[in-house]
């Protein structure tokens, strides 16, 4: 299906996700995209075989975790945290950067911001 | 007096075909907590989409995982085709379905062998892998390769199955079915198998749904979801119902996979019987237009989700793959606490984990 996602303000994210949860939707996944110096995170839900998507635009800091609403979101949020460096507030289980990457792995390897910083010879924060 | 202790399980363990690490907190012989760690085979394949053109990416996604390779290629191609508005010839839809179902059979048989080996039933391991060889022979004869068959291209498929091959496949499938019926009783009614699976690792229907479980993990708990019923590829022309069991234990998940093997044989017979003559691909010109698409299909392990964002050039902006094993991790973490330590290997294999897929 062609994605037609609805933008949601970060402040309203949890209440929007709660509506899906209470409406009987199952959690499918979250997808993180680079947007120059920001990130877009798409939340995908399904009821039966139908999908619905919402998204937020964020600078990657203090993104409210939805893992207290859908506990299964903790896996993908830990992955996004490690691969993109997005910080989630209230993550049900925080694997501390050791869920998908090891201690010697590059930091935030899929985040454009980090890649640009490394290519310019800057240090990771 | 009991004390808690932490036991590392994996990444190298005799029952694990691929590396996964679990930190198990146990009290006496009972697991009370489990924490997973992945990343031992992480390859960053999604990032390659920004560096390889969209046609080359078919070969990359086929290498996300060997066992699911055909259906990774198919889902990726279907996503690009939807973005570009390409209608694939009907014969190509049938061919995709036939190869996908052959992959489902060999995936389930591979799993069954590994599962049997996990609790020491080596003879069953040997028998299932022996039967699986017939499927691998069919894949090799029809595509030129046994595992990564590379038949899908954007716009259709690159190989055809002629009438002689179709007759031979049907004959081979008759033999596979006969041999499977011989071992079916052993798989489902053997005392040892039942002791190690019935009532073990129970996941209720509500838990499976809430935790986003998919494939046999969800179907074994009574969740009636099978994306093939949405009618992608040639499934819209075939007659079948999703296979669902209600007990939610390891045994129910076994039963779903066993019954799905027989169902796949039936689907291939139907497809070979109904497949029309015609082209197997259409020419594809230009690049995918700017846009976003989500494509899903039912792999052996469950629902795989491809998200693609195109910018109008030959390179994609973003490729994201949500694999079924990734979706089943929360369910695995749910069934491990409360289990006996001896059941941990069986419970890990009961989700049919594909770590290469999970890590990409």
For residue range A47-93, list pLDDT tens digits in order: 999 999 999 999 888 999 999 999 999 989 999 998 888 999 988 88
Q: Where are the extended beta strands (E) located within chain B? A: 4-9, 21-27, 30-37, 152-153, 156-157, 291-299, 302-310, 316-322
**What is the three-class DSSP state of B334?**
helix
Nearest Cα residue to B183 out of B233, B116, B238: B116
Distances (CA, A) of B126 to B112, B133, B190: 10, 11, 16
- Per-residue pLDDT, B302: 92
Contacts of B82 in chain A (CB under 8 A): 1-2
Minimum distance, in Å, between the CA of residue B149 and any CA atom of chain A: 26
Residue A94 CB partners (closer than 8 Å, separation 6+) = A78, A81
Quick check: A97 contacting B, CB < 8 Å? no
Is residue B352 within 8 A of residue B250, CB to CB? The reply is no
Q: How many angstroms separate the CA atoms of A35 and B57, rounded?
A: 22
Quick check: A66 contacting B, CB < 8 Å? no
Is residue A5 within 8 A of residue A20, CB to CB? The reply is no
Minimum distance, in Å, between the CA of residue B46 and any CA atom of chain A: 9
Q: pLDDT class for B122, splitting at 50, 70, 90?
A: confident
Q: Are strands B302-310 and A26-35 parallel, antiparallel or unpaired?
A: unpaired
Q: pLDDT class for A120, splitting at 50, 70, 90?
A: low
Q: How many angstroms separate the CA atoms of B159 and B266, rounded?
A: 22
- Span B208-237, mean pLDDT? 93
| Cα nearest neighbour of B358 on chain A | A100
Quick check: B341 contacting A, CB < 8 Å? no
Quick check: A33 contacting B, CB < 8 Å? yes
DSSP secondary structure code for residue B281 in this structure: B
Quick check: A52 contacting B, CB < 8 Å? no
Q: How many angstroms separate the CA atoms of A6 and B297, rounded?
A: 24
Minimum distance, in Å, between the CA of residue A62 and any CA atom of chain B: 23
Minimum distance, in Å, between the CA of residue B326 and any CA atom of chain A: 8
**Tokens representing residue B103 in the block:** 């992959």
Of A28, A33, A101, the CB nearest to B309: A33
Of A48, A71, A110, the CB nearest to B47: A110
Contacts of A20 in chain B (CB under 8 A): none
What percentage of chain B reaches a pLDDT higher than 70?
A: 99
Instruction: State the best of B21, B22, B38, B217 to mutate against chain A, taking most chain A CBs within 10 Å.
Output: B38
Q: How many angstroms separate the CA atoms of B43 and B45, rounded?
A: 5
Q: How many angstroms separate the CA atoms of B2 and B353, rounded?
A: 32
Question: Is the predicted ipTM greater than 0.85, yes or no?
Answer: yes
Q: Where are the domains of chain A?
A: 6-119
Q: How many angstroms separate the CA atoms of A51 and B303, rounded?
A: 13
Quick check: B50 contacting A, CB < 8 Å? no
Beta bridge mates, B37: B21
Mean pLDDT of chain A: 85
- Per-residue pLDDT, B46: 80
Is B212–A72 a contact, with Cβ atoms under 8 angstroms apart?
A: yes
Minimum distance, in Å, between the CA of residue B292 and any CA atom of chain A: 5
Among A28-32, B87-91, B352-356, the range scoring the smallest mean pLDDT is B352-356
What percentage of chain B reaches a pLDDT higher than 90?
A: 54
Minimum distance, in Å, between the CA of residue A52 and any CA atom of chain B: 11
Nearest Cα residue to B29 out of B335, B342, B336, B350: B342
Quick check: B43 contacting A, CB < 8 Å? no
Q: Give the homologous superfamily in CATH for domain A6-119.
A: NADH:ubiquinone oxidoreductase Nqo5 subunit (3.30.460.80)
What is the pTM assigned to this prediction?
0.91
- Per-residue pLDDT, A124: 46
Residue B30 has pLDDT above 60, yes or no: yes
Nearest Cα residue to B138 out of B174, B111, B102: B102
Beta bridge mates, B288: none
Of B36, B39, B47, the CB nearest to A101: B39
Is A72–B327 a contact, with Cβ atoms under 8 angstroms apart?
A: yes
- Span B176-205, mean pLDDT? 89
- H or E, element range at A26: strand A26-35
Query: According to CATH, what is the number of the domain B4-359?
Result: 1.10.645.10
DSSP secondary structure code for residue B246 in this structure: S
CA angle A16, A18, A21 (to 5 degrees): 120
- Per-residue pLDDT, B22: 84
Q: Where are the domains of chain B?
A: 4-359
Q: Where are the extended beta strands (E) located within A36-100? A: 38-47, 50-58, 63-64, 88-89
Residue B328 CB partners (closer than 8 Å, separation 6+) = B213, B214, B215, B217, B301, B302, B351, B353
């Amino acid at each position: 299906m062609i994605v037609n996602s609805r933008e949601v303000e970060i402040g309203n994210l949890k209440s929007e996700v709660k509506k899906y949860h209470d409406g009987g939707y199952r959690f499918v996944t979250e997808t993180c995209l680079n947007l120059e110096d920001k990130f877009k995170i798409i939340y995908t839900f399904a009821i039966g075989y139908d999908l619905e998507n919402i998204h937020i635009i964020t600078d990657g800091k203090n993104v409210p975790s939805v893992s207290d609403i859908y506990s299964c979101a903790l896996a993908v949020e830990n992955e996004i945290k490690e691969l993109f460096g997005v910080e989630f507030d209230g993550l049900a289980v925080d694997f501390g950067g050791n869920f998908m990457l090891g201690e010697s792995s590059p930091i935030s390897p899929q985040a454009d911001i980090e890649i640009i910083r490394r290519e310019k010879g800057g240090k990771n924060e | 007096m009991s004390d808690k202790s932490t036991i590392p399980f994996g990444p190298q363990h005799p029952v694990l075909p691929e590396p996964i690490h679990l930190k198990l907190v146990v009290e006496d012989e009972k697991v009370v907590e489990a924490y997973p760690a992945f990343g031992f085979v992480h390859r960053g394949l999604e990032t390659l989409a920004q560096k390889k053109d969209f046609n080359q990416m078919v070969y990359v996604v086929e290498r996300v995982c060997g066992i699911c390779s055909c259906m990774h290629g198919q889902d990726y191609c279907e996503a690009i085709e939807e973005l570009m508005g390409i209608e694939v010839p009907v014969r190509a839809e049938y061919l995709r379905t036939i190869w996908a179902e052959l992959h489902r059979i060999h995936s389930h048989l591979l799993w069954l062998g590994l599962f049997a080996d996990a609790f020491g039933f080596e003879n069953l391991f040997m028998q299932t892998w022996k039967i699986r060889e017939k499927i691998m022979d069919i894949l090799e004869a029809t595509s030129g390769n046994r595992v990564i068959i590379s038949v899908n291209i954007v716009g259709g498929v690159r190989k055809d199955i002629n009438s002689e091959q179709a007759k031979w496949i049907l004959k081979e499938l008759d033999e596979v079915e006969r041999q499977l019926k011989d071992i079916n009783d052993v798989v489902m009614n053997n005392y040892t198998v039942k002791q190690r699976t019935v009532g073990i690792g129970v996941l209720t229907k509500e838990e499976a749904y809430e935790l986003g479980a998919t494939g046999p993990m969800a179907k074994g708990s009574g969740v009636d979801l099978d994306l093939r019923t949405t009618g992608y590829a040639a499934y819209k022309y075939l007659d079948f119902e999703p296979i669902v069991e209600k007990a939610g234990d390891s045994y129910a998940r076994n039963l779903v996979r066993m019954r799905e093997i027989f169902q796949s044989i039936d689907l291939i017979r139907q497809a070979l019987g109904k497949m029309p003559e015609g082209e197997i691909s259409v020419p594809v010109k230009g690049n995918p237009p700017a846009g976003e698409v989500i494509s899903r299909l039912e792999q052996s392990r469950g629902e795989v989700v491809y998200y693609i964002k195109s910018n109008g050039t030959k390179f994609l902006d973003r490729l994201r793959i949500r694999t079924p094993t990734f979706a089943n991790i929360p369910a695995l973490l749910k069934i491990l606490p409360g289990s006996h330590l001896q059941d941990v290997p069986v419970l890990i294999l009961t989700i049919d984990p594909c770590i290469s897929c999970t890590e990409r």
